[in-house]
Structure 1
Amino acid sequence: MEESLRLAGDNRAELEAVLDVYSRKPVDSLKLRAAEFLITHMKIHGGVRSEVLADYRKMMVQSDTVVDYHTFNPWWKQLVVDKGDRLEVALDVRTVSAAYLIRNIERAFQAWEQAPWHDEVDFDRFCRYVLPYRFTNEMLADGWREYLARKYYPLIAGETDVRRAFAIIYHAFGRRSSDVAECHYTLDPIALDKQGQMWCDQYCVLMGDVCRSLGIPVAMDWVESWGNYRQQGHLWPVLVLDDGAYTVRRGDTIARKGPEVEGRTIVGRNMPEEDYPLKMAFIKRPLRVWRFSYERQKDEPGLPESWSHPGLEDVSALYGIMDSLVVSLSMADEYLFIGTYQSRDGWTPVRHARSSEGRYVFRNLADSVVYVLMTGEGDACRSQGNPFLLVNGKQIGMRPDTVRRTTVRLTRTFPLMPHWTDQWTAMKGTYIEASNDPDFRTRTRLGSIDRTPLFPDSIRLEGKNCYRYVRYVCDLEQTRMAGLAFFCHGHEVEGHLIGATPADTLLWNKDYTETYKKHSYDRVYTRGIDFGRPVELTSIHFAPKHDRTFVCPGNTYELFYYDGGWRSLGRQTADGYVLTYTNVPVRSLLLLRNVSARGDERIFTYEQGRQVWW
């Protein structure tokens, strides 16, 4: 605690005043311990502030209703344009007042002591998960506990089971989690309560503070990155009781014991036909789970500073991330690292082990993940040897057989996520019609999308079809088209757009990467093409909206295999939607990169004629 008081500078008197208040009466002995807990660990905490954030918060709070992102995003953009986005970090030990801390302590004790589940939350858990006034670096506001408790207590009034109370609050806020907010900084909970959509960390702060205001002990857990996905992690709230941790799934009416990583499984909601060839589920593999901690975590002696995380507690074992690996090496490095491949960033260290007579023991490793050993520190950290797949603590080597070669046919640089095929299912019922009248008074339906489409897809036309005008017709919710092309016996027929806005020209983009635009007020959407004269049509080719990681014509790609480093197997410019590479070493770990427009990419192996992602 003395270190915090020393760092407080001119604010030391404020912190000492809190200790003085609770030192006067023996009845306040627990509150004194709570104050000492807050002040002791306050030295690692702080928040961002700026004139722009203050103005943005004011606009949010003054709103009479919850504000939609269509409103608050323009607020933020204009403020940044007018005033810039210059921020400063304010350390809590130098800025938090005695009045703020005392009010926080009093309200926290009141909520804890009055909660029906008081006996399930001991003092230690209270200090860690009810008492703290912040989760991360969010803004602070006076009176947040009173405001949130007054507003949200009616949701759980009469509920005596804390697990049910937690589930009720979880579902009340679940619909607000979204990635559409332009401002990535976290406001205080009073302002967040007016923000209609928010990032997962912002949502966790709001929901967590609501729970803490009602005496419900809540933590915020975080997957920083995944072992088989992109870097983008995820945060979620966790109920922490004396008998363990609890989380909630969609549809649960009571929190379930044994926490689960939220967002790990991506499952399609709009199920296509039973014989649809693409997978409708994807399981992400978390590499490590952190818990944001108010209490400072102990540093490992000698560990490089870049690996010190004083405000994060490693709770991976609680989530079943428990594989271990022993490596024996003769080298001078005190630390050995183990890394995974991160999209765009390459091999990135995720765990460390300290030498003990030439043995390095890695613990809490994720199962079924491709790893590589690494040495060095920071930007100088480099992979050593070849990667391996870790399954149940056993290594499966991934050294390529450069003597034996095979042929691979590749269609993607990154695994396809089910939320894309969800959107494609919505395209069913749309259709393409043709006419020789510019107003389509007499028209013929050429074809309909009756099944969930693939990428790309086509409609073959029967009989002789000669038309000058063709258009695509869909209702407002079905517009998921990224590209259309018309053919006569294998040759593309071109024309000019009709009934189109400038944005609609993207529909005819040959790399099929943009979405067919629509106006929100259109009940039925039609856009078409005029060929200039009646032409015969034999097929229609189309592509649904996608994530730009399919192989697309005109883009240049480079395929690599790993053998002590990435080795190129050459570049190809795609003339279709499949790349064929011959002379690929058997058992290779591969990586396909879009050189023309680098996007998400993921390592894979080629097994039984398909890409298997790692």
Structure 2
Amino acid sequence: MRKISISRITLLLAIFLIACTSPGNLRLEQALQWAGDNRDELEKVLTHYADTPEKLAAARFLIMNMPYHFSQEEYFISSKGEKYRPDISKFCDNKAVESHCNSLTRYGYRINREKVYDISSLDCNFLIDNIELAFEVWQKPWAKNISFDDFCKYILPYRAQTEMPSNLRKEMKERFVPILDSAKVQTPLEACCVLNEHLKGIMKYGHTGLPFYPTIDETYHSGISQCEGLCNLGTFIMRACGIPVTVEQTTWTKMDLGHSWCVVLDNGKFYSFGPGEDQPDIHARSFSEVRHRRPAKVYRSRFDPDFSIMDRKDDGYVTTLKSPLIYDVTNEYLDKTTSIKVSVDKNNRKKGKSNQVYLCTYNHYEWCPIAIGHRKDTVCYFENVVGDNIFIVADSPDGSKLRNITTPFYTDKDGNIRKFIPLKEHKQTFTLNKRKKKPDQVHTLYFWDTEKDRFTPLEYVSSTDTTQTYDQIPANALLWFTIPERIVNQRIFFIENDSIKTY
């Protein structure tokens, strides 16, 4: 899952006090001030729509919210300062792209990354074209009943996440709207299903070989990207056709990394789908029915920030969870959520400067925060979490890094807690299977040592080509069996009734 950059969070926090208290006119003026030299371009848009109130309101909506959005621009740069980004559509496969990128590095090219903020870079022609095209498709049968508020939030925006703005909206409209016209669809959900079925033939999940964040144009012309690129393109195409869509995301709790997908709004309800993949009628069920895909928390992206979620007594720790551009929608999915109440360990009861606490899951070699809760005295509280997962709770007394304040614990579907406090005086014997494709690599079993607040290795007593046996495993311990190679899904687990419970 993409993480919002520190600079972006810093910007949002810096303008929080201004934006959260400013009515529309003041927010618009503040945005124009942020535009700097680009102010004239934005004022041209407002002047252009001075006599068309509805389009003027749409233009104001975009401009007021542009300060919170940017493009993540990435490219190779030569020793002479020449910019270059490979056209992946001209390569036979991702291996060829990867080989080409590696050769560039050998010849002295380096990767340059910069953030280009919308408020200071988008011109009047781009914004006017975007507004006109959005209003045209709003008149379509499947879109005409969408409220102006929902139109502004889910059809009008020109971006989904941090992709570079694309000029393909007109081309998308002209290519895909006729498909919906001929299908005679009448609702956003029907339109989404018809169009998404068509997208299955032109886009698919895969690695591009580029070490860059994907652009709309790259994904469109190559037809290949990972979940973020597919979501960005899928959202762009759907909006270009008058279908109200946005992106959702999760950090996995039973797998490493995370995932993004889309939702379509129909008659006040959102329906999840995978762009070019799962349709709305099966997408949410596929999450619920497959154990390792059940998200513990789900967050929906929004173009207009909600500053009410920001805590004035913030501890200063920077995390995407504090972004006013996402909000918690876990309750909208099929698995029942629960409340978690867990006590702070005795040796960590010294409170930081804030009552903010973080629910963390072990994901790709570290404890990653997936939810923000609050602490009252010595108890931490979290709402709307899907159970049957292992977590740890942290706080941030200095605002720069997290400090674990509980032991790892398992919570069941009803919120009942089982803490993993190793019983070092009670030893277990257990034989573990090595990874099938990597039996020759060194395998190490670790247990979470609550006294040291880290995973501590154990010595095995015997080893074969396929197994390793240990006889000093502390009872009630959280375990981790790994190889040195940094790969995904070396998951934590515990032993119960002589069987492994993996998370």
Indicate the SS of the match to 2:392.
strand
Deviation at 1:73, TM superposition (A): 5.0
Residues 19-76 of structure 1: CA deviation (Å, up to 9, x unaligned): 12222x2xx211111111111110011113366597547x468x7xx97546655565
Distance 1:556 1:4, change over 3 A: same
Deviation at 1:323, TM superposition (A): 1.7
Indicate the SS of the match to 1:560.
strand
From 95, 104, 110, the counterpart of 2:121: 95
* Correspondence 1:138 to 2:163: yes
Q: Which residue of 2 aligns with 1:323?
A: 338
From 277, 302, 316, the counterpart of 2:313: 302
Deviation at 1:244, TM superposition (A): 0.5
- Rounded to whole Å, the distance in 2 between the matches of 1:119 and 1:11 is 33
Residues 470-499 of structure 1: CA deviation (Å, up to 9, x unaligned): xxxxxxxxxxxxxxxxxxxxxxxxxxxxxx
Distance 1:105 1:252, change over 3 A: closer
On the 8 A contact 1:181/1:198 being kept in 2, the answer is: yes
Indicate the SS of the match to 2:190.
helix
Greater helix proportion? 2
Indicate the SS of the match to 1:240.
strand
On the 8 A contact 1:405/1:585 being kept in 2, the answer is: yes
RMSD, aligned CA? 3.2
Letter in 2 for 1:171: E
* Correspondence 1:170 to 2:196: yes
Residues 126-159 of structure 1: CA deviation (Å, up to 9, x unaligned): 11110001112212233x2210111122332333
Letter in 1 for 2:444: Y
* Correspondence 1:398 to 2:420: yes
- Rounded to whole Å, the distance in 2 between the matches of 1:43 and 1:302 is 23
Q: Which residue of 1 aligns with 2:384?
A: 364
Deviation at 1:383, TM superposition (A): 2.1
The farther-off stretch of 166-175 and 37-46 is 166-175
Deviation at 1:580, TM superposition (A): 1.0
On the 8 A contact 1:409/1:609 being kept in 2, the answer is: no
On the 8 A contact 1:220/1:291 being kept in 2, the answer is: yes
Residues 367-394 of structure 1: CA deviation (Å, up to 9, x unaligned): 1111222233566422234222111122
Q: Which residue of 1 aligns with 2:446?
A: 559
On the 8 A contact 2:88/2:208 being kept in 1, the answer is: no
Distance 1:153 1:109, change over 3 A: same
On the 8 A contact 2:444/2:457 being kept in 1, the answer is: no
Q: Which residue of 1 aligns with 2:7?
A: none
On the 8 A contact 2:295/2:386 being kept in 1, the answer is: yes
- Rounded to whole Å, the distance in 2 between the matches of 1:563 and 1:42 is 46
Q: Please, what TM-score do these two structures have when normalized by structure 2? A: 0.79
Give ranges in structure 2 of 5+ residues lacking alignment.
1-27, 78-82
- Rounded to whole Å, the distance in 2 between the matches of 1:572 and 1:384 is 33
Q: Which residue of 2 aligns with 1:289?
A: 298
Indicate the SS of the match to 1:47.
strand
The farther-off stretch of 186-195 and 158-167 is 186-195
Q: Which residue of 2 aligns with 1:245?
A: 270
Deviation at 1:581, TM superposition (A): 0.9
* Correspondence 1:332 to 2:351: yes
From 348, 362, 369, the counterpart of 1:349: 369
* Correspondence 1:207 to 2:234: yes
Q: Which residue of 1 aligns with 2:459?
A: 570
Distance 1:203 1:169, change over 3 A: same
Distance 1:71 1:31, change over 3 A: farther
The farther-off stretch of 248-257 and 380-389 is 248-257
On the 8 A contact 2:196/2:275 being kept in 1, the answer is: no
- Rounded to whole Å, the distance in 1 between the matches of 2:462 and 2:178 is 62
Q: Please, what TM-score do these two structures have when normalized by structure 1? A: 0.66
Distance 1:321 1:412, change over 3 A: farther
* Correspondence 1:29 to 2:84: no
Aligned length: 450
* Correspondence 1:312 to 2:199: no
* Correspondence 1:388 to 2:409: yes
Q: Which residue of 2 aligns with 1:375?
A: 395
* Correspondence 1:583 to 2:472: yes
Indicate the SS of the match to 2:222.
coil
- Rounded to whole Å, the distance in 1 between the matches of 2:174 and 2:67 is 31
On the 8 A contact 2:409/2:419 being kept in 1, the answer is: yes
Q: Which residue of 2 aligns with 1:156?
A: 180
- Rounded to whole Å, the distance in 2 between the matches of 1:371 and 1:41 is 35
- Rounded to whole Å, the distance in 2 between the matches of 1:242 and 1:103 is 28
- Rounded to whole Å, the distance in 2 between the matches of 1:256 and 1:401 is 47
Letter in 2 for 1:288: K
Distance 1:594 1:21, change over 3 A: same
Letter in 2 for 1:85: I
Q: What pairs up with 1:387-426 in 2 under 5 angstroms?
A: 387-391=408-412, 392-412=414-434
Percent of residue pairs identical: 23
Give ranges in structure 1 of 5+ residues lacking alignment.
267-281, 414-454, 456-545
On the 8 A contact 1:68/1:195 being kept in 2, the answer is: no
Larger radius of gyration: 1
Letter in 2 for 1:401: L
Residues 397-430 of structure 1: CA deviation (Å, up to 9, x unaligned): 33333343321111147xxxxxxxxxxxxxxxxx
Letter in 1 for 2:481: L
Deviation at 1:328, TM superposition (A): 5.8
